[in-house]
Amino acid sequence: MIELDLPDTQGNIHRPYGRFGFPHSRHLFFTIADAAAGRLFVQGIRPRITTAEPWGKSEAGGAGPTLLRKPPITLNIGFTFLGLRALDLPTRTLRLLPDEFIDGMGCRADILGDVEGSAPKHWDPVWRSHLDGTTRPAHVWVSLNVGANPDGTPLPELGQWTAWLQELVAKSNSGVALLAGHGADGQALWQDSAALMEPGPDGTMIPQPKEPFGFTDGISDPVFRGQFQADAEARAVIGAGKIAEGPYDPKTSWKALETGEFILGQVDEGQEFPVATQPPGFARNGTFMVWRKLRQDVPGFEAEMRRQAALWKQVTGIADDVEAYETVSAKLVGRWRSGIPLLAAPCWADHQRLMAEWADCIDPALRKPRDDARHQERLAAFARLLTGFRYGDDPDRRQMPVRRPYTPRQSARHARPAAERDAWGKHAHQPPPHPAPRAALCRSRWRTGRDHDGDLFKHFPAVRIHPAAMDELRPGFRSRQ
């Protein structure tokens, strides 16, 4: 069992905050004009960085690591290559960083497929520094994740910590600046996001695991060694890890992915230590991340699905409008809106049967208390079903868990204008020195329609975990305390 250095690992690498009661996030980007001022700015932030130390006995396994009280807000930090250079890091450290990280996504737009409607000239102004030099480049990324009030609004700590960061900037005497240039009008000082929410029985707003097109999200959450205590890992890894050699047993054949696929300084699946830079301590317990933004055209998607549903009815003879609409939508995405994969329910009738069979796991009103062990086993079994794992099937038919959202796929569908129905995702990975072994991981494109009717994908390096597809998620921020 690997024991990670949790106090030296940022919490956003180890823990998906959205599942821990933090439905709101705020992303702020800073530029550094003076290295000394930049170092003081980072040192001012450092004591408040959220580490991966456990927040309770359920995470810690009851013994071993130090237990911390769950905070009302989290803070994490990352740096671009230009940010590391602006902080006057040694040349021997800078020159050994991966080329993709040094170039950044803007310079690699053609390689990454960011062309036409997704070209850099259409990105938010804050990301256009490489085009004409008039925009100052982003050097430091700071994210705040916070809980919600009963009415769904963010806790006051979000505003308080934002004001504190602005005070640190003011104290730098122009050595550090907060970059504007976000949002539909390109004027916002930061990028806010929030999980979709719906009112519960008592009126309290409850975050939903849904993305703007209405599909269940946050399913493919890979498990790596050292992420959980042994007993928790054995449960979580089924359908979310890799299958070991030998006779297949659905309960014992699943193993956690190697930690080095996510965190530097650890062995990866090739039994190698991913090369980052020198000295080794600079990168240890960090990772390379991608911060990207996409625009999802919900009305356009729904209109196209209605058109396709009409054609589907003509071809198949199906008379029910809902069945036709949901079927063509599921065939495009690969799973039904409930999250049940087509592998488990190839047709509408199969889906409806599984919905009835697992109703107590789907409908919150039917769920039983957490101390009901048998119901917890059913929830775990349903979670395995959502990963694409089918009991008794050939294990090669599973769906690889190859992406990891940073928080719930975020958009306020009914609260923002159409132009701001966006989704933000953070993915982490290690730079791929050997492309061939990574080919199996090139399945992480979001299945919400690339460049659909002018949809806009925004790519930029940032900070979080995932063995992301090498063809689009190579550059990233370095995540280190």
pLDDT in tens, 432-442: 333 222 222 22
Average pLDDT, integer, range 173-200: 92
Query: What amino acid is encoded at 27 in this protein?
Result: H
Per-residue pLDDT, 455: 27
Which pTM does this prediction carry? 0.79
In the predicted model, is pLDDT for residue 258 greater than 60? Answer: yes
Neighbour-count burial of 117, counting CB atoms closer than 10 A to its CB (0-12 exposed, 13-18 middle, 19+ buried): middle
**Distance between CA atoms of residues 82 and 99, nearest Å:** 13
More confident residue, 307 or 390: 307
CB 146 within 8 A of CB 155: yes
Q: Is 77 helix (H, G, I), strand (E, B) or coil?
A: strand
Per-residue pLDDT, 295: 81
Q: 83-97, 155-169, 242-256: lowest mean pLDDT where?
A: 242-256
pLDDT in tens, 119-165: 999 899 999 887 877 889 999 999 999 999 999 999 999 999 999 99
Instruction: For the chain, give the number of residues.
Output: 481
Token pair for residue 228? 């959980």
- Give Cα 61 distance to the centre of its chain: 25
Token pair for residue 58? 């359920």
The string over 352-372, giving b where at least 16 C-beta atoms fall within 10 Å of a residue's C-beta and e elsewhere, is eebeeebeebbeeeeeeeeee
In the predicted model, is pLDDT for residue 459 greater than 90? Answer: no
CB 276 within 8 A of CB 94: no
Token pair for residue 67? 């237990």
Picking from 288, 227, 232, the residue whose alpha carbon sits closest to that of residue 52 is: 227
**Distance between CA atoms of residues 55 and 71, nearest Å:** 8
